[in-house]
Structure 1
């Protein structure tokens, strides 16, 4: 039987969320604000960022910080700003998806000198966290169910041998999950939780025209972005969680504890990816190991 996870009140806690100006990130911000959190909304667009803050419950309590995950200068600035704010949680939500690149899209190299999707979804977040430490108490990383369909390819995780956008996206989410569990092993004072939102589309999101009818039609298959945010909210606001868990959607609860693909929890693969991440960032990530996850 799965373990259901429900969020609790987190009045006075501070939570930073990347990509919180729209989609799952915005709905997670709104739900956490409803639970009493002060939310730092991180995103590229200043106008959209301030609009998102204005749409949250009790807007004066929250703040917008500019962050472009495709720009190393922007990542450094945001990370240094976060390092000055004691963070109860940092949600690594933002990223690009395969569909954003279109069919037939050629491989592109981004700010970290590697394939752009992996660079943004994994390396940029790793650099942001590296700079924000040790101000962060809990990290929530967004994986994907696509990891169950496309296996991790250690020899081609950066799409150097061949390139398909969907595979590159899957590799980025494998890296996010592997790194998230390795964070839990490496950083004794940090609680690292990995979540996946399941399938989510805008058409099923409350507030969109026809959303209720669409939900009835697609019930149990995909969900709206507002529902997909629930595992994120549970990961941040469930005080019973201690790190090392993997959360996914649940029909009636906010989330449930699930099992990721085997490679995500592989400690040997985690150690390898940690070393590769430091090499590609060109910097060490301070670490004080704890006992491995059982």
Structure 2
């Protein structure tokens, strides 16, 4: 029983132990300003990872989230710089992100293309589309009232806490509710557990896959909006490698890459581990080259631990 409890809460235990080690190595780690900085930086990856959790729970994968982030961030910047209403600009970007996710979902559910290949195609096409759309140059927001209001989404504070942290919290509350309290959530787990059995039981497998990829695309777009808002510009090369960080957060949180097992609460823990790792390596002045190696080792340990549990 003790071993089962240990395995159930291994992500939280790992996060606590890791945080304690870093606090001893760097006195600046537990300062309020640094903790808020970690949460703000983690929010981007966490929001993307929330959508990735839905996909991985079905046994799929989404490699296109970084490109969706870049494209939708560029779209939102273009609309804001053109004087479009902030609400309309945000909604348009979110809808575009969902439609891109649907495109991947159609290739997977209707075209019977493997998720890895389908989302690789989407990633490549959309990265090129972003470069075409932006002419390979950043799009700045401008300095009018609309741009100033938009910039608060990613760069503003409320009660001393960065607004992206509130947005991250809202995303995870909604995702938790969907996965634990709705039929879609139950169907997602059922599909990941056994796709053939799900078909035989009458579940609309295609519809479920379309839904999860649309959710992933929309949340990647939301992350793109936040980054664009914070930087007051959209970089066509934004989001490169973000899909790997999102997958890492999901896996570190205990969600199985085979699908059918995991939780959205584990994902937020995994995202925090990735965020704290990046922050700790920066505080300790570790070269960015070694940071990639360290991140890879942590992911490898998480995957091996997942396989050992089975």
TM range (shorter): under 0.3
Greater helix content:
2
Greater strand content:
1
Name which structure has the greater RCO, CA cutoff 8 Å, separation 6+.
2
